[in-house]
């Protein structure tokens, strides 16, 4: 193999994989503008299914419920995930540390069906014992928050690990009490990680169908649950329309944020360079 | 190399910091600091000098309050601070890698400690301005730390730790992150600022030149304990052990036995030569000792000295030119290699010696130190 | 000394909260639920009404172990077959992901530095689109009157539609599609950190590039291979959504059996027993994964 053909092979391989990854997404978007009732046969372009979507009150209320659950569970995930990350990162030795480590990685490695089943059985037990909670929004929230906590803990941990522990010491040296160390130094430096943990756990929740199916009660259907039940029955062009809307929102958000961070980075570089040239005068 | 001791007798000798038999054991096995005692006088710049891993930082961190001693006590102005948390100690520290808060501006970094003390706003502003001008950083007040060069960051870190007017300032490798050239100019800058404020300092460094130029006293550390404590010139000229002599500067050490042991002189017989030391030493004849001789105290010539003692002969095997001086490596007949340093005080390079020449090294009878340890 | 007191009590109070909060959270939502699953798997169908089973009036519930569900699990060969087939599909998925993902990650790590963030983002971007929607999209592509068949027929490549749905092919395609990024990301992380000088040294010593790849690159990326394989294999074993949407009735997956036992048969002890055995099955690869992770942490 010479290096030129090698390069072509590499490029082709990468292109094929990317095509594989994006093919279904492209199809979703393209066929959402299809006028035919058959999802798979192109007739001509129209916004028919978007109009149908606007009238689909089941789906819309499911989307709203999903947004609500995703937002709340992401907040909870970030909250508990931060605690977990701190416990595991700042305290190297305590009784049952290994247990906490394995418990916190359990939701990451267990299949969703098991997490869903076990949580449901626990909730039913508590229900029989105490008379609450009713299955519904709250129980779904618990499930999503459990899963999200595990992911958020990973994100926050990796940030904590690269953060200079000397900063904590410096702040203490300058008179911060332990709580002030957190509010004045650690927390402000953690904010970017908390934001990405929020976004990640939000999407996880917004995407989940298995946990929600186990944990929801009558009258509480999240968007993935609705889509799943429709997809099981057959193909439905409204789903394409929903998909396209979420893809559009996500794409815009991702592009905007990456544009913003690269801008920030460039600004930072420029100022840094300026600082050096100034100091050499 | 050694500058004059810095006004060691200036302040009335008042003890500020007292460390009593402090030991720190990590994980039950690693003895990082081993039964160390020391006192630091008010106004002093005290340096802890030692190789990597000898426990300097650990000792300093116990003074700052980040570690609690396993054994022993620490007093500041006669108050026991051994168990006082860092935020209650009137001690501030300048960190090895500065530890400037990346999310705060230079101004806010310097004001950080003052705000924690609840100082009124206008007083804070006044103090910060003063500190910034001390470090000539006023124009950078609004910048974030990453927008500063290494030297500027270092000065911010210094004035941040000075802003609270601590009784004691701790510096952990204050120049460690700077390149060699910047280091030399910054050393003096640092000492000037510290002396202007008049704060007592404990400084950690592994660079002996840095310790020599900045400190009024030096403690040489190894494996958790002090080898020698003294003023820079004492430690340099009168090392108390082979380890200290070896660690501070360059040295040639001759192993031998004391032959004559008189109150006003001793002679030491070594395989290479016989040393005539012009002062008495604490030892007895027949004792195994080392004779330490600094390279700059050796004179080289092509002619055989007409003395019985204090010279040896060898072949020049290496000449290293440093600009201000030249170092010759001499391979003695016994096979031992010694270094001799000659000042280049004329532009006529070298004393005529070149590779392969036979040369005679000689020294005065007050040039060497007899090491019994 | 009073000051000293307050410092250490406040410190340990903070410590108690920081450790206590996540501990409580995970005990309640992760550990206890698993124990309840274990408990219910050992109880009888009739007493599934939880009030019978968890009888708090007697203090600690009396354990009457009932291995009925496990007996049934062992005797009915369908369960055994399903476990085996789940493992088979998960293993094939892992292998395919590795075969496709390794060269990809390798080329990605070797592409120009300034391109890499973009290439990486392009791998992550599909994550942000609902997984369910992407699986649904494959359904629209694969069905007999689906997009792919329609295109092939209109191009006269084929006359009759190819059967691509509801079989092992569609299942594996969906699984490889969903899990490929989980293989690529750890591999890329590993390969991009690898020191090129090893390869140069090997070339210097006269090793051919192909041989150098097998003798040096692959062994050095062992940690990435293990991490990626486990990240694919473990969730693939218990996958429910993909077999439900793409697998049809002929492909046996244990996640679906659990679901059906629970939702269709309402047999909670059986569903729990299926879950317990599934956990035991993935415990081994999980251990391998954790060990590899721990080693990598140490290495840093
Ligand atoms: N937190 C800790 N846990 C365990 N051992 C430690 C810890 N901190 C330091 N040590 C050990 O204590 C010894 C002294 O460390 P210390 O940091 O004081 O050295 P040092 O003199 O500052 O070295 P350097 O010049 O490299 O900074 C070393 O052997 C080190 O490994
Ligand atoms: Mg150190």
Residue with the larger pLDDT of the pair B255 and A78: A78
Ligand 1 atom closest to the Cα of residue B50 is: 21
Is any ligand 1 atom within 6 A of the Cβ of residue B179? no
pLDDT digit string, tens, across residues C40-68: 888 775 554 444 544 545 555 555 567 77
CA gyration radius for chain C?
25
Hey, is the C-beta of B84 within 8 angstroms of any chain C C-beta?
yes
Query: Half-sphere exposure of B111 toward its Cβ, with a 13 Å CA cutoff?
Result: 20
What band does B351 get if pLDDT is binned at 50, 70 and 90?
A: low
In a domain, C284, yes or no: yes
Alpha carbons A170 and A187: distance in angstroms, whole number = 15
Q: Do B207 and B333 fall within a single domain?
A: no
pLDDT digit string, tens, across residues A252-261: 887 888 788 8
Q: SS3 of B167, please?
A: coil
pLDDT digit string, tens, across residues A31-69: 888 877 776 677 777 888 888 888 888 889 999 999 999
A112 touches A186 (CB < 8 A): no
Give the list of residues 6+ apart from residue B210 with CB closer than 8 angstroms, or none: B47, B175, B183, B187
Residue C298 predicted with pLDDT over 50: yes
Residue B9 predicted with pLDDT over 70: no
The pLDDT of residue C51:
46
Q: Which residue of A has its CA nearest to C235?
A: A111
Q: Which residue has the tokens 């006023």?
A: B138
The pLDDT of residue A277:
63
What value does the mean pLDDT of chain B take? 86
Residue A164 predicted with pLDDT over 70: yes
- Are A90 and C123 inside 8 Å of each other by CB? no
Domain CATH for C109: 1.10.3720.10
Q: Which range has highest mean pLDDT (A40-54, A250-264, B157-171, B345-359)?
A: B157-171
Q: Do B361 and B328 fall within a single domain?
A: yes
Q: Which of B242, B263, B293 is the last residue of a domain?
A: B242
What is the percentage of chain A residues whose pLDDT exceeds 70?
Answer: 95
Is any ligand 1 atom within 6 A of the Cβ of residue B1? no
Mean pLDDT of A146-153: 94
The pLDDT of residue C97:
96
What is the percentage of chain C residues whose pLDDT exceeds 90?
Answer: 24
The answer to which of A91-100, A236-245, C240-249 has the lowest mean pLDDT is: A91-100
In the structure, how many helices (H) and strands (E) does chain A have?
A: 12, 0
Query: Half-sphere exposure of C21 toward its Cβ, with a 13 Å CA cutoff?
Result: 18
Q: Which CATH topology does A57-280 take?
A: MetI-like fold (1.10.3720)
Ligand 1 centroid to Cα of residue B34, in Å, is 13
Hey, is the C-beta of B352 within 8 angstroms of any chain C C-beta?
no
In the structure, how many helices (H) and strands (E) does chain C have?
A: 16, 0
Alpha carbons A196 and C128: distance in angstroms, whole number = 13
In a domain, C52, yes or no: no
What band does B12 get if pLDDT is binned at 50, 70 and 90?
A: low
Residue A117 predicted with pLDDT over 60: yes
Lookup: tokens for B150: 């290494």
B168 touches B200 (CB < 8 A): yes
Q: Do B287 and B202 fall within a single domain?
A: no
Residue B217 predicted with pLDDT over 90: yes
Q: Do B203 and B262 fall within a single domain?
A: no
Is any ligand 1 atom within 6 A of the Cβ of residue B33? no
- Sheet containing strand B299-301, strands side by side: B299-301, B358-362, B311-321, B325-332, B337-343
pLDDT digit string, tens, across residues C91-143: 999 999 999 999 999 899 888 888 888 898 888 888 878 888 999 999 888 88
Q: For residue C282, which of C27, C34, C22 has the smallest C-alpha distance?
A: C34
- Tell me, rounded to whole angstroms, the distance of Cα C209 from its chain centroid: 34
Q: Do B63 and B167 fall within a single domain?
A: yes
Ligand 1 centroid to Cα of residue B64, in Å, is 15
Is any ligand 1 atom within 6 A of the Cβ of residue B30? yes
The pLDDT of residue A278:
58
Residue with the larger pLDDT of the pair C50 and C266: C266
Q: Do B238 and B288 fall within a single domain?
A: no
Q: Which of B225, B242, B259 is the last residue of a domain?
A: B242
Q: Where are the alpha helices (DSSP H) in B24-120?
A: 56-64, 106-116
Q: Do B166 and B75 fall within a single domain?
A: yes
Q: Where are the alpha helices (DSSP H) in B22-120?
A: 56-64, 106-116
H or E, element range at B177? none
- Are A105 and C146 inside 8 Å of each other by CB? no
In the structure, how many helices (H) and strands (E) does chain B have?
A: 8, 20
Between chain B and chain C, the number of residue pairs with CB atoms below 8 A apart is 9
The answer to which of A197-206, B279-288, C159-168 has the lowest mean pLDDT is: B279-288
Ligand 2 centroid to Cα of residue B65, in Å, is 15
C140 touches A27 (CB < 8 A): yes
Q: How many domains does chain C have?
A: 1
Look at the alpha carbons of A173, A175, A180, A183 in this order and tell me if their dihedral is positive or negative.
Answer: negative
A181 Cα to chain B: minimum distance (Å): 10
Q: For residue B89, which of B19, B17, B167, B36 has the smallest C-alpha distance?
A: B167
Q: Do B23 and B133 fall within a single domain?
A: yes
Spans of all domains in chain A = 57-280
Range of the domain at B40: 3-242
ipTM of the complex: 0.84
H or E, element range at B46? strand B45-50
Residue B63 predicted with pLDDT over 80: yes
Ligand 1 atom closest to the Cα of residue B60 is: 18
A194 touches A81 (CB < 8 A): no
Residue C1 predicted with pLDDT over 50: no
Range of the domain at C214: 76-299
Q: Which residue has the tokens 């050393």?
A: B187
Nearest CA to ligand 1 atom 11: B32
If one residue of B23, B58, B96, B211 were mutated to test the ligand 1 pocket, choosing by the most ligand atoms within 8 A of its CB, it would be B58
- Proximal ligand: closest to the CA of B206: 1
Q: Do B238 and B254 fall within a single domain?
A: no
Residue C176 predicted with pLDDT over 80: yes
Q: Beta B71-76 vs B168-172: how paired, if at all?
A: unpaired
Nearest CA to ligand 1 atom 4: B26
In a domain, C57, yes or no: no
The pLDDT of residue A75:
97
Q: Which residue of A has its CA nearest to C117?
A: A258
Residue with the larger pLDDT of the pair C285 and A169: A169
Q: For residue B56, which of B91, B96, B1 has the smallest C-alpha distance?
A: B96
Q: For residue A91, which of A191, A165, A22, A180 has the smallest C-alpha distance?
A: A165
The pLDDT of residue C4:
41
What value does the mean pLDDT of chain A take? 86
What band does C199 get if pLDDT is binned at 50, 70 and 90?
A: low
Q: For residue B290, which of B223, B221, B243 has the smallest C-alpha distance?
A: B243
What is the percentage of chain B residues whose pLDDT exceeds 70?
Answer: 95
Domain CATH for B259: 2.40.50.100
Q: Do B318 and B200 fall within a single domain?
A: no
In a domain, C24, yes or no: no
Alpha carbons B162 and B164: distance in angstroms, whole number = 6
Q: Which of B194, B219, B242 is the last residue of a domain?
A: B242
Which pTM was predicted?
A: 0.79
In a domain, C13, yes or no: no
Q: Which residue has the tokens 């994989």?
A: A17
Is any ligand 1 atom within 6 A of the Cβ of residue B28? no
Alpha carbons B364 and A192: distance in angstroms, whole number = 68
Q: SS3 of B146, please?
A: helix
Q: Do B83 and B149 fall within a single domain?
A: yes
Q: Beta B45-50 vs B217-222: how paired, if at all?
A: parallel
Residue C7 predicted with pLDDT over 50: no
Domain CATH for B196: 3.40.50.300
If one residue of B23, B33, B50, B56 were mutated to test the ligand 1 pocket, choosing by the most ligand atoms within 8 A of its CB, it would be B56
In a domain, C134, yes or no: yes
Mean pLDDT of B193-206: 88
Q: For residue B155, which of B127, B194, B210, B126 has the smallest C-alpha distance?
A: B194
Give the list of residues 6+ apart from residue A10 with CB closer than 8 angstroms, or none: C103, C107, C110
Q: How many domains does chain B have?
A: 2
First-to-last C-alpha distance (Å) of chain B: 25
Ligand 2 centroid to Cα of residue B53, in Å, is 7
- Are B116 and A279 inside 8 Å of each other by CB? no
Q: Do B235 and B360 fall within a single domain?
A: no
Ligand 1 atom closest to the Cα of residue B54 is: 21
The pLDDT of residue C59:
53
């Amino acid at each position: 193999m010479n290096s030129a053909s090698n390069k072509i092979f590499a490029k082709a391989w990468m292109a094929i994989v990317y095509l594989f990854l994006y093919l279904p997404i492209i199809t979703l978007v393209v066929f959402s503008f299809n006028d035919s009732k058959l999802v798979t046969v192109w007739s001509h372009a129209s916004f028919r299914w978007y109009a149908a979507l606007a009238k689909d009150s089941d789906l819309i209320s499911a989307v709203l419920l999903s947004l609500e659950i995703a937002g709340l569970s992401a907040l909870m995930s970030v909250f508990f995930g931060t605690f977990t990350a701190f416990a595991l990162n700042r305290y190297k030795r305590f009784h049952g540390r290994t247990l906490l480590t394995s418990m916190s990685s359990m939701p990451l490695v267990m299949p969703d069906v098991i997490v869903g089943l076990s949580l449901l059985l626990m909730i039913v037990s508590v229900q029989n014992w105490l008379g609450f909670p009713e299955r519904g929004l709250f129980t779904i929230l618990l499930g999503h928050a459990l899963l999200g906590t595990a992911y958020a803990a990973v994100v926050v941990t990796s940030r904590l690990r690269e953060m200079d522990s000397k900063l904590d010491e410096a702040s203490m040296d300058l008179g911060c009490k332990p709580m002030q160390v957190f509010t004045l130094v650690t927390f402000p430096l953690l904010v970017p990680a908390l934001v990405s943990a929020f976004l990640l756990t939000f999407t996880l929740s917004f995407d989940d169908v298995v946990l929600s199916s186990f944990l929801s009660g009558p009258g509480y259907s999240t968007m993935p649950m609705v889509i799943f039940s429709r997809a099981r029955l057959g193909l439905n062009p409204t789903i394409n329309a929903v998909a396209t809307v979420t893809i559009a929102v996500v794409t815009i958000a991702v592009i905007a944020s990456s544009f913003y961070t690269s801008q920030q980075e460039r600004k930072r570089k420029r100022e840094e360079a300026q600082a050096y040239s100034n100091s050499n005068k | 190399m050694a500058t004059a001791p810095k006004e060691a007798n200036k302040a009335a000798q008042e003890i500020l910091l007292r460390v009593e038999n402090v030991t720190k054991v990590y994980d039950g096995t690693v003895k990082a600091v081993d039964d160390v005692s020391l006192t630091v006088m008010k106004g002093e710049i005290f340096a802890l000098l030692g190789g990597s891993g000898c426990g300097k930082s650990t000792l300093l961190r116990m003074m700052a309050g980040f570690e609690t001693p396993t054994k022993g006590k620490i007093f500041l102005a006669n108050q026991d601070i051994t168990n006082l948390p860092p935020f209650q100690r009137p001690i501030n520290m300048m960190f090895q890698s500065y530890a400037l808060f990346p999310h705060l501006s230079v101004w806010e970094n310097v004001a950080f400690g003052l705000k924690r003390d609840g100082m009124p706003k206008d007083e804070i502003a006044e103090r910060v301005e003063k500190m910034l001008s001390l470090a000539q950083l006023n124009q950078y007040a609004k910048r974030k730390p990453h927008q500063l060069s290494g030297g500027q960051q270092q000065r911010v870190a210094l004035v941040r730790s000075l802003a609270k007017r601590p009784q004691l300032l701790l510096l952990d490798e204050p120049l460690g992150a700077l390149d060699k050239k910047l280091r030399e100019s910054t050393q003096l800058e640092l000492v000037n600022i510290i002396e202007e404020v008049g704060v007592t300092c404990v400084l950690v460094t592994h660079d002996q030149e840095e310790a020599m130029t900045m400190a009024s006293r030096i403690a040489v550390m190894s494996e958790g304990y002090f080898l020698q404590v003294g003023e820079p010139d004492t430690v340099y000229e009168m090392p108390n052990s082979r380890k200290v002599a070896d660690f501070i500067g360059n040295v040639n050490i001759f192993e031998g036995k004391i032959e004559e042991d008189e109150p006003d002189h001793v002679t030491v017989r070594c395989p290479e030569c016989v040393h005539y030391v012009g002062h008495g030493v604490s030892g007895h004849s027949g004792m195994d000792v080392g004779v330490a001789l600094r390279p700059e105290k050796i004179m080289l010539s092509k002619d055989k000295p007409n003395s019985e003692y204090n010279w040896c002969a060898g072949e020049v095997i290496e000449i290293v030119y440093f600009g201000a001086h030249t170092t010759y490596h001499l391979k003695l007949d016994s096979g031992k290699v010694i270094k001799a340093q000659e000042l280049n005080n004329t532009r006529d390079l070298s004393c005529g010696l070149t590779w392969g020449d036979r040369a005679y090294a000689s020294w005065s009878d007050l040039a060497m130190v007899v090491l019994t340890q | 000394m009073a000051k000293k007191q307050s410092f250490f009590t406040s410190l340990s109070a903070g410590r108690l909260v920081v450790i206590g909060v996540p501990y409580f959270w995970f005990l309640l939502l992760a550990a206890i639920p698993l124990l309840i699953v274990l408990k219910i798997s050992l109880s009888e169908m009739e007493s599934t009404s939880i009030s019978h089973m968890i009888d708090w009036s007697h203090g600690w519930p009396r354990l009457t172990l009932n291995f009925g569900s496990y007996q049934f699990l062992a005797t009915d060969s369908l369960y055994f077959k399903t476990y085996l087939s789940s493992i088979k599909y998960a293993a094939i998925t892992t292998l395919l992901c590795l075969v496709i993902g390794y060269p990809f990650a390798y080329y990605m790590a070797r592409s120009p530095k300034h391109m890499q963030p973009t290439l990486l983002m392009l791998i992550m971007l599909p994550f942000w689109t609902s997984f369910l929607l992407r699986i649904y999209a494959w359904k629209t592509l694969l069905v007999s009157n689906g997009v792919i068949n329609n295109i092939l027929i209109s191009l006269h490549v084929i006359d009759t539609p190819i059967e691509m749905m509801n079989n092992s092919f569609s299942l594996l395609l969906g699984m490889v599609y969903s899990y490929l990024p989980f293989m690529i990301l750890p591999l890329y992380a590993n390969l991009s950190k690898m020191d090129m000088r090893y390869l140069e040294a090997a070339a210097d010593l006269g090793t051919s590039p192909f041989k150098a790849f097998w003798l040096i690159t692959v062994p050095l990326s062992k940690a990435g291979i293990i991490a990626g394989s486990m990240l694919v294999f473990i969730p693939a074993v218990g996958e429910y959504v993909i077999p439900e949407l793409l697998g049809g009735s002929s492909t046996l997956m244990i996640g679906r059996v659990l679901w059906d036992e629970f939702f269709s048969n309402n047999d909670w002890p059986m569903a729990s027993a299926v879950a317990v055995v599934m956990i035991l099955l993935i415990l081994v690869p999980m251990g391998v994964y954790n060990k590899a992770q721990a080693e990598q942490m140490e290495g840093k």
